[in-house]
Amino acid sequence: MKGTMESVVAFVADFDPAFPRYIRGASRAELDELARLAGGPLPAVYEGFLAAMGGDPDWISIRGTRLAIAALTERYRTRSFVPPAEYVLIGVAKDDPYLDLYLHAGAPGGPRVVVFPEGRTEAFDEILRFWLRPVAGSLPEAICTHVVRLLRLNVLPAATRLVARTASAGLLPQVAPLLAPLGLAPLWFSNDWVQVADRGDACVIAAAMDGARLSIEIAAEDTAEVGRITRALSAALPLDEMP
């Protein structure tokens, strides 16, 4: 999975050329110790992330969790809550409601990123039923979408958000063909939960996670372009613009 994380690093470097020089990966000894505490080999994509930037990844804010290997190692050493092995703890919550970040390694379609709180190990099914929330379709997508939102979507001056009137698994696949004539194509880390398109002067993040209603964030250099993108999507999909 080294190649995937190399692609993530290169993607972030397009926004911040100095990025590869200031990230710090975890050592082999740190990775082996975390795997020992976790009770087995780490998922390849997660080990690749730690090896590339797990030494001090505080620049990433995925649901307000700490992703540094030191924080994870400490939690593994002290935790009493042990979920099934297919849920790998990858982020420690810092604030209430203390939803920790997990990689669901056994999820259909590949490892998904989800959150849920600690609890009683024997009550795990109940925790999943009431507390589990999807976060990202993959770990690379979680990182790259965070970067796009932070350094593009939140920077462009004009923005809006569209939400589907009803939940439908068939809406997200229709977004890319509607955006293509506008020069907006899904980036390489997009998946069946999240589609991200960035043209420099315009950006779209469309998400429909695990059966949720489609939500589309749009940002551009001016309101006219936001309107053009909005009309292209709303003409074909049952969307409402949020205030």
- Co-location of 131 and 164 in the same domain: no
pLDDT digits (tens, 9 = 90+) for 157-178: 999 999 999 888 799 999 999 9
User: Do residue 215 and residue 126 come from a single domain?
Assistant: no
Using CB atoms within 10 Å of the CB of residue 79, give its burial: 0 to 12 exposed, 13 to 18 middle, 19+ buried.
middle
Instruction: Let me know: does 31 contact 51? Beta carbons within 8 Å.
Output: yes
Q: Looking at the domain assignment, is residue 142 inside a domain?
A: no
Do 106 and 29 have their domain in common? Answer: yes
For residue range 225-243, list pLDDT tens digits in order. 999 999 999 999 999 999 7
Asked if the structure places residue 126 within a domain, the reply is yes
CATH number for position 88: 3.40.1580
Give the helix/strand (H/E) hosting 198: strand 194-198
Whether 210 is covered by a domain: the verdict is yes
* Average pLDDT value over all residues in the chain: 93
Tell whether 184 and 79 lie within a shared domain: no
* Residue 149 lies inside a defined structural domain of this protein: no
The answer on 171 and 128 residing in a single domain is no
Range of the domain at 226: 156-242
Between helix 69-78 and helix 28-38 the angle, nearest 10°, is 30
Distance separating alpha carbons of residues 62 and 42, to the nearest angstrom: 19
Residue 185: φ, ψ to 5° = -120, 150
Report how many domains make up the chain: 2
Is 34 within a domain?
yes
Domain identity same for 7 and 122:
yes
**What three-state secondary structure class fits 196?**
strand
Write out pLDDT tens, residues 139-152: 999 999 999 999 99
Are 169 and 211 in contact by the 8 Å Cβ rule? The answer is: yes
Split at pLDDT 50, 70, 90, the class of 2 is very low
Residue 208's pLDDT band, with cuts at 50, 70 and 90, is very high
In this prediction the pTM is 0.92
For residue 42, how many C-alpha atoms fall within 13 Å in the half-sphere facing its CB?
A: 24
> Could you give the 3-state DSSP secondary structure of residue 158?
strand
* Domain identity same for 181 and 65: no
Which residues, 6 or more positions from 96, have their beta carbon under 8 angstroms from its beta carbon? Answer: none
**Cα angle vertex 217, ends 214, 222, to 5°?**
145
Given a contact cutoff of 8 angstroms between Cβ atoms, the answer to whether 45 and 4 are in contact is: yes
Whether 12 and 124 map to the same domain: the answer is yes
